[in-house]
Structure 1
Amino acid sequence: MTMPRKENIIQDKSEKYSARIIRMYQYLIKIKYETVMSKQILRSGTSIGANVAESRNAQSAADFINKLNIALKEADETMFWLKSLKAGNYITEKQFYSMMTDNEEIIKILTSIIKTKKNNITIQ
C-alpha cells in the first residue's frame, strides 16, 4: 500500500517539465538532427527538477534557498536555450510558447518560495 503524499506543486511541475524536456530532446535529436543545443537544454531543463528534489532534504533554511536558487538559474538557462532553438527554427512558435509558459510558471513559483523563505528567516 502506498502512503498518501503531501502535495508539492513545485516538485510536481518540475518533474512534469523534466519529462517534457526529455521528449523535446528526443525530438530534436531524432527529427531535427540537432545535437548541441538539445544536450544543453536537456541538462538545464532536467536540472530544475533535480535541484527542487534536493531541496526537500536541505540541511538548513540557507541550503534550501540555495538549492531553489540553483533551480531558478537552471530555469533561466533553459529559457535561453528555448529562445535559441526557436531562433534557429528547430522548434515552432507553438512549441516554444508551450514550453516557455511552463518554464515561466516554474520561475514564478520558485521566486515566490525563495522570497517567502527569506522573509520567514528575517522575521524569526
Structure 2
Amino acid sequence: MTADQLKVRTKLYSLAIIDLVEKLPITTASKIVAYQIAKSGTSVGANYRAVCRARSDKEFIAKMEIVLEEADETLFWLEIIIDKSWINKTITEPIWKEGNELTAIFVSSLKTVKAKLL
C-alpha cells in the first residue's frame, strides 16, 4: 500500500468516525465519549499526513508512534461504544475492523523502520 493510498484510507476512517459520532445517543456519558473518539479518530488521518512529511527515519518513527497511539485510543473508545450497545453492531463492526487493520499497518511500518536503524 502506498502512502497516498493510506492517506485516503485514514481520511475515510476519520469520516466513518465522524458519522459514528453523529449516531450516538445524546446523554452526558455519550457526549464525553463522542468528543474523545472524534478527536482521536480524526487525529489518525491528520497525523498520518505529518508522517508522510517526515524528513528522517527518526522523525518518521516519532510521528508514526503518535498515529499508532491515536489509533489505539480510537479502538478503546469504540470498545466503550460497543460494550454500552449505543450503536448497532452492523455500524460499529466495519469501523472496528478498519481500525484494527490500520493499527496493524502502523505497527508493521514502525517495526520495519526501527529495524533499519539497528
Q: TM-score range by the shorter chain?
A: 0.7 to 0.9
Relative contact order, CA 8 A, sep 6+: which one is greater? Answer: 2
Following the alignment from structure 1 to structure 2, what is the Cα–Cα distance between the partners of residues 23 and 93? 14
Letter matched to residue 103 of structure 1: G
Number of corresponding residues: 114
Following the alignment from structure 1 to structure 2, what is the Cα–Cα distance between the partners of residues 80 and 48? 14
Matched, 1:25 2:21: yes
By percentage of residues, which structure has more helix?
2
Unaligned residue ranges in structure 1 (runs of 5+): 1-5
Matched, 1:61 2:57: yes
With 100-109 and 85-94 compared, the bigger mean Cα shift is at 85-94
Matched, 1:116 2:108: no
Matched, 1:15 2:11: yes
Q: Which 4+ stretches in 1 moved above 3 angstroms?
A: none
Matched ranges for 1:74-89 at <5 A: 74-89=70-85
- 1:96 is matched with 92
Give the CA deviation at 1:82.
0.5
Following the alignment from structure 2 to structure 1, what is the Cα–Cα distance between the partners of residues 54 and 93? 33
Question: Residues 37 and 81 of structure 1 are in contact (CA less than 8 Å); yes or no, is this contact kept in structure 2?
Answer: yes
Q: TM-score of the superposition, structure 2-length normalised?
A: 0.88
State the structure with more CA Rg. 1
Following the alignment from structure 1 to structure 2, what is the Cα–Cα distance between the partners of residues 106 and 79? 11
Following the alignment from structure 1 to structure 2, what is the Cα–Cα distance between the partners of residues 83 and 92? 13
3-state DSSP class of the match of 1:35? helix
Unaligned residue ranges in structure 2 (runs of 5+): none
Give the CA deviation at 1:96.
2.2
Letter matched to residue 113 of structure 1: S
Identity level (%)? 32
Following the alignment from structure 1 to structure 2, what is the Cα–Cα distance between the partners of residues 91 and 26? 11
Matched, 1:49 2:68: no
Q: TM-score of the superposition, structure 1-length normalised?
A: 0.84
3-state DSSP class of the match of 2:86? coil
With 18-27 and 76-85 compared, the bigger mean Cα shift is at 18-27
